[in-house]
Amino acid sequence: MTAYAIAHLRDAEPHPDVAEYIERIAGTFEPFGGRFLVHGTPPEVKEGAWAGHVVVIGFPGIDEAREWWDSPA
């Protein structure tokens, strides 16, 4: 069963470390079968406020998602 890693990215000032992280992150989950499902898309807010963006990464299963999260990468 597909498993998901979900992140709420808050708006931040541009910084070289952040840019490098964004460039490298996909390489950390690809060995575990992960792929971006949602990335950098502004949400459509229906109620309340939402600062930032949502990122969703899909994995083949919960084991792969946990292995990615626990990996040194």
Question: Residues 6 or more apart from 55 whose CB is under 8 A from it?
Answer: 6, 7, 9, 36, 38, 39, 40
Q: What angle do CA 43, 54, 56 make, to 5 degrees?
A: 125
CA distance 46 to 39: 19
What tokens appear for 66 in the block? Answer: 């946990």
pLDDT digits (tens, 9 = 90+) for 62-71: 999 999 999 9
Domain ranges of the chain: 3-70
Fold of 3-70: Alpha-Beta Plaits (3.30.70)
pLDDT digit string, tens, across residues 37-47: 998 777 889 99
Separation CA 57–CA 65 (nearest Å):
9
- Asked if residue 25 lies in contact with residue 7, where contact means CB atoms within 8 angstroms, the answer is no
